[in-house]
A and B are shown apart, each in its own frame.
Chain A
Amino acid sequence: MEEIWSGLLRAFELIITLDPEVVGITARSLYISLASVFLASLIDIPVGAMIESREFWGKRNVISLIHTLYSLPTVTVGLLVYLILSRNGPLGSLEILYTPAGMVLGQVILITPIMIGLTITALGEVSPQVKDTAKSLGASELQIMITTIKEVRSAMLASVLLGFGRALSEVGVAMMIGGNIRGYTRVLTTAISLETAMGNLELSMALGIILLSISLLVNLVMNRLQGR
């Protein structure tokens, strides 16, 4: 127990003194996850809006599949992206395996089902009269889509935050695609995993506290938005 307390104290010390390694890992985690969620939003929100607004054969099955993929294991995505990015894979020529770019690609794939699914759910809440009103006032298909998204902007932002939270806290993709290279692809989750295995509990706990604090902050903002 004493070891845990002294570890915790040391962990807080590392955070308060802005230990370069802790800051570096945190900053890397944030920018990789933010980049992932930004790219995923650019793809997933329009795709979700299109699925929601159009009627096509098998739509219900597509939505069921998307919901099933919410719980996609991160290591499965890691394996899939590894196969795609490995030297003999279809995107091997990009040479982004074990790079932050590869991690971003993996995280985009990981959070895509959640973001598309939540977009569909959020837009499904908008009354058809909103679309009719926009259309009757001369809105194009794209303008109707934008108007509809704006109507549920809090829910849309919540889905983006949820995607960010999932990207930030996953280990599988970061480990398998990033390779946990110190100073390059090492992020909060992979660093915690490694440092714990190495018995470096102070650093592990410091990083764990930071990860938990960010998750807590994301959840607080999400709850506020959903309460609106």
Chain B
Amino acid sequence: MAFLELEALGKAYGGVEVLQDISIDLFRGEILGIIGPTGSGKTTLLRLVNLLEAPNSGSIRLEGLTLNDLTEKEKLSARRRMAMVFQKPVMFKGSVQENVSYGLKIRGKKDQKIVRSALEAVNLSGYESRDANTLSGGEMQRVALARALVLQPEILLLDEPVANLDPKSAAAIDRIVQSLVGQNTLVILATHNMLQCKRLASRVAVLMKGRLVAVGEPGEIFDRGQEQLLSEIAVPW
């Protein structure tokens, strides 16, 4: 059985359909790369999976449990199995340490060791006491990733995680994402960076105007006659 099943998912804002008929089965330990041009609905899809918004149609099932039908309390439990890193991460007021340990704190946990190792993983050791809102965009992005990693989520949702990052930081994030595969984490990576997608994803889904137009192994999508499709995405490699 698939770990996460999206079935005929649809979402509209003010009558404009942003996502239509999205169906895909996802499994533990895989990295699904969602590629598509700006406005294709990648972020909305991640938000639906993270239960930040409700779909207008279709369903999301996690280990067979339909998430749409759950009570708010049950949704919270489901959401606590996931973590999302936004394209433009927001830092809470306070130190890097406070930001990274936020998710643990609200779960009533306190584990300095895991916070330290998450900061180490994103190359931000020694930043613990820095004011999080004075960091550079790239540093904030890495703190946001560390903030998600400490929760050891079963599903990690990444929205353009390396946009605006320097190559070194981007490579660090790539390494972390790859290491999650061995931990049985399902990673859903929305990006318009095809190179990153090809490098990391075990499967690729192409989203165009709110519809999934192709799903397959990176080899199938990138190498076998999908040039026309990919050219529509119009983002450099």
Contact = CB atoms under 8 A, between A and B. Distances in A.
Q: Do A and B come from one complex?
A: yes
Interface of A: 127, 129-130, 132-141, 143, 147, 150-151, 153
B173 interface: no
What bracket does the count of chain B residues touching chain A fall in? 20 to 34
Contacts of A136: 50, 52, 79, 82-84, 86, 157
Contact of B107 (A127, A138, A147): A138
7 contacts: A127-B90, A138-B76, A140-B106, A141-B72, A147-B92, A150-B92, A153-B93
Given A135-B79, A137-B147, 20 more contacts: A127-B90, A132-B86, A133-B86, A133-B90, A134-B92, A134-B102, A134-B106, A135-B52, A136-B50, A136-B52, A136-B83, A136-B84, A137-B83, A137-B106, A137-B148, A138-B79, A138-B80, A138-B103, A139-B106, A140-B106
Contacts, number: 54
Contacts of B61: none
A138 B73 CA distance: 11
A132 B85 CA distance: 10
Give 9 nearest A-B pairs by CB, closest first.
A138-B80, A136-B84, A137-B103, A129-B90, A143-B106, A133-B90, A139-B106, A130-B90, A136-B50
A208 B84 CA distance: 57
Contacts of A137: 83, 102-103, 106, 147-148, 151
Contacts of B76: 138, 140
Contacts of A141: 72
A165 B205 CA distance: 60
A155 to B, nearest CB: 12
A151 B106 contact: no
B198 interface: no
A129 B52 contact: no
Q: Among the interface residues B93, B107, B147, B157, which one has the most CB atoms of the partner chain A within 10 A?
A: B93
